[in-house]
């Protein structure tokens, strides 16, 4: 374990918070595998960080009068979690980049990021999609772009499931780790007024990725999709649309919580929003990377313990989503 320093970006850490940070760091050590050079592994995360925008940058604990509520203590956890990965996809980056840029300065010169511009309109919610990555471990391999549906919809989505552009266009970036090249596609599905409103985007992205995966596999690429799919429950209509073309979520992620809020009737596995998936069926689409492990991280018990904040308040400091992660073994 690498213990937190007494100061963070030149700001002294109050002793009770320092103890809290040490406990949380130990918990992360228990849950998330370390980055390994021998028997090289690849660690990929995804996190919808609620309205990741500005920051109360001069306080470890924001007060009721402060806006925003995201303070140094919350950003420390976000930064500490991000630092555990080779790459992490982040959803809900907003127009104001103070929190993101503060995080990047803290991570240091070995870290980089790519992101989209903000998406205008009510459905877009002024959000960006982005990737933060450890450039000492992975490198860009050439591709970065948004998946835009062409005018002749049927060439990509033959079922006619999607009759308009994605509310927030999925963002695809290719990376290389050692001898492995892979494309990550992150997205944030439009929540809509009801679950039926989400079906067209979920079917559309499943069919798009099916077509794309068949094309790119002949070039030795691996395709992984990750982000916030706004799926309510495992095996519901939304889940079936998402998996309709063969996208597969690893078994360890089926039983982990995605949201800090319980679902219907107190069901903690409702709100099945966030996913990491790839194709496992079909010789042209099979992932070359070897799956090792996966999980999520419950930060709620570790932060603001002296305040006893309800989750309704905690979501504005951190997020209403838990982060997910996955580990692969790399070819040597």
Q: What is the DSSP string of 115-165?
A: EPPPBPSTTTTTBEEEEEEETTT-EEEEEEEE----SSGGGT-TT----S-
pLDDT of residue 7: 60
- Residue 117 falls inside a structural domain: yes
Alpha helices per DSSP H over the chain: 15-31, 72-82, 98-107, 199-216, 237-242, 311-317
Farthest CA pair distance, the chain: 61
Give the pLDDT of the chain (332 residues) as one tens digit per residue: 444 444 666 667 888 888 888 899 999 999 999 999 988 999 999 999 999 999 999 899 999 999 999 999 999 999 999 999 999 999 999 999 999 999 999 999 999 999 998 866 565 567 899 999 999 999 999 889 887 766 655 555 555 555 555 667 889 999 999 888 999 999 998 877 888 878 888 888 888 888 888 776 545 568 999 999 999 988 899 999 999 989 999 999 999 999 999 776 677 778 999 999 998 866 556 688 899 999 999 999 999 988 999 999 999 999 999 999 999 998 76
pLDDT of residue 48: 97
Q: CATH no. for residue 215?
A: 3.60.10.10
- Beta bridge partners, 172, equal 145, 185
The Cα–Cα gap between 225 and 249 comes to 10
The Cα–Cα gap between 198 and 192 comes to 6
> Nearest-CA neighbor of 288 among 278, 302, 297?
278
Residue 92 burial class via C-beta count within 10 angstroms: exposed 0-12, middle 13-18, buried 19 and up? buried
- Residue 172 falls inside a structural domain: yes
- Residue 78 falls inside a structural domain: yes
Question: Tokens 């990750």 correspond to what residue?
Answer: 226
pLDDT of residue 132: 98
Structurally, how many domains does the chain consist of? 1
pLDDT of residue 54: 96
Question: Tokens 């009801």 correspond to what residue?
Answer: 194
- Residue 2 falls inside a structural domain: no
Residue ranges making up the domain that contains 40: 7-329
CA 151 to each of CA 130, 160, 167: distance values in angstroms, whole numbers, following the listed order: 26, 12, 16
The Cα–Cα gap between 62 and 25 comes to 22
pLDDT of residue 4: 47
Tokens of 80: 């500490």
CA 223 to each of CA 58, 145, 162, 166, 313: distance values in angstroms, whole numbers, following the listed order: 41, 14, 21, 19, 37
Question: Tokens 């950003």 correspond to what residue?
Answer: 75
- Residue 1 falls inside a structural domain: no
């Amino acid at each position: 374990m690498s213990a937190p320093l007494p100061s963070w970006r030149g700001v002294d850490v109050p002793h009770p918070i320092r103890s809290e940070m040490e406990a949380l760091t130990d918990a992360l050590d228990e849950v998330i595998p370390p980055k390994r050079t021998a028997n090289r592994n690849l660690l990929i995360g995804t996190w919808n960080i609620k309205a990741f925008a500005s920051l109360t940058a001069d306080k470890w604990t924001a007060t009721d009068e402060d806006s925003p509520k995201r303070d140094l203590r919350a950003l420390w956890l976000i930064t500490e979690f991000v630092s555990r990965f080779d790459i992490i996809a982040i959803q809900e980056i907003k127009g104001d980049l103070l929190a993101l840029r503060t995080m990047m300065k803290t991570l240091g010169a070995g870290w980089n990021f790519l992101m989209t511009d903000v998406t205008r309109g009510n459905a877009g919610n002024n959000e960006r999609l982005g990737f933060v990555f450890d450039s000492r471990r992975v490198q860009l391999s050439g591709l970065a772009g948004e998946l835009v549906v062409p005018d002749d919809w049927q060439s990509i989505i033959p079922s006619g499931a999607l009759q308009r552009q994605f509310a927030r266009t999925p963002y695809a970036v290719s990376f290389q780790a050692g001898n492995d090249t892979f494309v990550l596609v992150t997205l944030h599905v439009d929540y809509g007024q009801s679950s039926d409103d989400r079906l067209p985007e979920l079917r559309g992205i499943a069919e798009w990725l099916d077509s794309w995966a068949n094309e790119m596999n002949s070039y030795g690429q691996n395709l992984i999709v990750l982000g916030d799919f706004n799926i309510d429950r495992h095996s519901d209509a939304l889940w079936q649309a998402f998996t309709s073309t063969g996208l597969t979520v690893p078994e360890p992620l089926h039983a982990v919580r995605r949201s800090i809020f319980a679902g219907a009737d107190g069901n903690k596995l409702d709100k099945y929003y966030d996913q990491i998936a790839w194709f496992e069926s079909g010789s042209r689409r099979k992932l070359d990377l070897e799956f090792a492990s996966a999980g999520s991280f419950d930060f709620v018990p570790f932060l603001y313990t002296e305040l006893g904040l309800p989750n309704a308040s905690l979501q504005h400091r951190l997020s209403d989503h838990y982060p997910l992660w996955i580990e692969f073994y790399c070819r040597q």
